[in-house]
Amino acid sequence: MTESDAAEETFALDTYAGRVSLLFHCFPKKNGRKFSYQEVAAATGISKASVGNLKNGVNTNPSADVIIALAMFFGVPADFILGLRNVEKTAAELRHLREIILLAGINGSDLGKFSAMSSDGTSTSLENIARILAAIQQVEAGRRSST
């Protein structure tokens, strides 16, 4: 799949699998690749099989512990994973953040840690993080052009 194909990728936001798949898509590693189930499992304490089953739609009733662990890893509100509110708006913000993450060359899970530390995890905090990262990019671009 090319980068332009990835930009066109759609996710069934009315399912756990679609929302979790979007998180894997929007929070890549520094090299632009998606986190593996094993990497997410090791970081969250969730089993590799549980991560895979949720992402692939096999598990349609995850426990609260699983939802909280994934929300903390990706730095998103648990409400997004649960599909309770602002799903479309949050998904649009996550896609925007993905572009910034790839341009900035940062690890997507690092952004999640920042989000979890900096706010209550509402979609407004995701907007603020996007603004902060965009401002950092502008500063860095200015530094590069002045050298």
Domains of the chain: 3-146 (1.10.260.40)
29 torsion bin: left (phi>0), alpha (psi -120 to 50), beta (else)? beta
Q: Does the pTM exceed 0.75?
A: no
Q: What mean pLDDT is predicted for residues 122-145?
A: 68
Q: How far is CA 140 from CA 16, 32, 101, 102, 104, in A?
A: 37, 20, 14, 15, 9
Cα 82 to Cα 80: distance, rounded to the nearest angstrom: 5
Per-residue model confidence as pLDDT tens digits over 30-71: 777 889 999 999 999 999 999 999 999 999 999 999 999 999
Tell me what the pLDDT averaged over the chain comes to.
79
> Which carries the bigger pLDDT value, residue 30 or residue 76?
76
Quick one: pLDDT band at residue 77, thresholds 50, 70, 90?
confident
